[in-house]
Copies of this chain bind each other. A is one copy, B any other.
């Protein structure tokens, strides 16, 4: 195809075309964003579950995409059913506010900290972590089932598996 182009255009036009073709991908990159695939969600979940199993902790693991929509959820045996919603709420909070839910938990400790409870979708309990790629948010993980500190450890193991 290049040969065909080289023959059918005059020299100046050829050079211009080549410059455009080289710049194109850079321009196009400017309008794409990285995102989590189903395989990513599976790998993150597996890493989290491996840690949970190793510790003997049973939890719910939820993975959301960058729009806050569920990619996958896995409930291990014997987990309280309240954790199904809590894991998703933690993950939603993490991706909606681009920060770990532990940040809100800390913010809620001081005077007037209950104000966080008035923010839609904010969860002030550890166990939700945003997931980044090259500094851009691509989704989140939410874990619930054991203590919030333990939920946080499992969530971290999940992110490391990404």
Interface residues of A (CB under 8 A from B): 1-2, 15, 18-19, 21-22, 24-25, 28-29, 31-35, 37-39, 41, 65-77, 80-82, 84-86, 89, 93, 95-98, 104-106, 108-109, 111-125, 133
Contact of A34 among B31, B41, B89 (CB under 8 A): B31
The answer for the CA separation of A114 and B33 in the assembled complex, in Å, is 36
Contacts of A71 in B (CB 8 A): 75
Question: Which residue of the partner chain, among B32, B67, B133, contacts A67 with CB atoms under 8 Å?
Answer: B67
Q: Is the CB of A69 within 8 A of B84?
A: yes
Are the C-beta atoms of A117 and B119 separated by less than 8 Å? no
What is the chain B residue whose CB lies nearest that of A123?
B118
